[in-house]
Structure 1
């Protein structure tokens, strides 16, 4: 019995000493590294377009049509001239000095009517409608262009000059960029005081 007791005590001491030795030689755990900060989120900043980079698409034209610029205004290029240098057909009136014949815009040569948003502009348009209504118009082209329009002198079937008629009506002036005083004698007295201040591009 004494021998077994001594063996039991010796075995217990062995395990205690082994545990103490192992605990003394164990490496301390490595220090924990601070977690890395979350990745920065970058927001794309789009540079706003400058006025020179923006392109205005005129009313009536599709995005993608070839545009050109004249006097700071974007517009479609004028169409090609027909070989005959003349067009015939019913007229669709845009304003007092621009009509459409055979799907081509025609700027009447030698006259200048008020723009639609200016005083007398709407009245000039409807006077042109009255002149052209029910007629086949003949446009004799000069070879000049302005913006997306061809320039021409337009006539009724009986040979009446449409430009002359609207000047006589007091709703357009001789002038613009394509006149040499051709219609000046047809202007009613005092008409330049009424129309000229309202934005017409007139040669005095």
Structure 2
């Protein structure tokens, strides 16, 4: 009877723990949006960066608009496809339970840095402590990606879309 109770306790503890380990995760990444990927069924939010939402539009250099969120997601897909698999180093779990990580392509290039460097995301200093400030300044000075025109910060766009005050 003791072994049966021990088995039940072991199973209960196993169910209470997160399904994935908090160590690195490697695999073929599927793009969810410009700053979120999925590997082996685990949603991974890219740490310290904020990309436009898929529905978000931005101003272009010629005064027009374009779907910058969709553009960022497509650019991320192409970047990751060039060197697979993707390896993600765990940072934390966010309030939605997502795995938050700094990720790398098979060739060692950091995905989070590239997103900001290419202008497809901004340095989210609230979380990054300015880790990507220098590459963001370069993207801005080159007027690439989001910086080629006017845009609303993704965190502000999400708040407005939800009808609440931005906290970014």
The answer on whether the counterparts of 1:110 and 1:176 sit within 8 Å (CA) in structure 2 is yes
SS in 2 for 1:199: helix
How far apart in 1 are the matches of 2:125 and 2:95?
A: 11
Q: Which has the larger radius of gyration?
A: 1
The change in CA–CA distance for 1:176 and 1:92 in structure 2 (over 3 A counts) is farther
| 1:82 aligns to 2:21 (yes or no) | yes
Higher relative contact order (CA 8 A, sep 6+): 2
TM-score where L is the length of structure 1: 0.54
Aligned twin of 2:33 = 95
Could you tell me how far 1:95 is from its partner in structure 2? 0.4
TM normalised by structure 2 equals 0.65
Contact 1:106 1:151 in 2 (8 A): yes
Of the candidates 131, 135, 142, which is equivalent to residue 186 of structure 1? 135
**RMSD of equivalent CA atoms:** 2.4
Question: Structure 2 matches for 1:26-175, cutoff 5 A?
Answer: 79-83=18-22, 85-119=23-57, 120-133=68-81, 135-175=84-124
Greater share of residues in helix: 2
Equivalent of residue 199 in structure 1, options 150, 154, 157: 157
Unpaired segments of 5 or more residues in structure 2? 1-17, 58-67, 159-165
Q: Are 1:196 and 1:202, in contact at CA under 8 Å, matched by a contact in 2?
A: no
CA 1:106–1:170 in 2, change beyond 3 Å: closer, same or farther? same
**Deviations 1:65-115 (Å, cap 9, x if unpaired)?**
xxxxxxxxxxxxxx54405x1100000000000000121000000000011
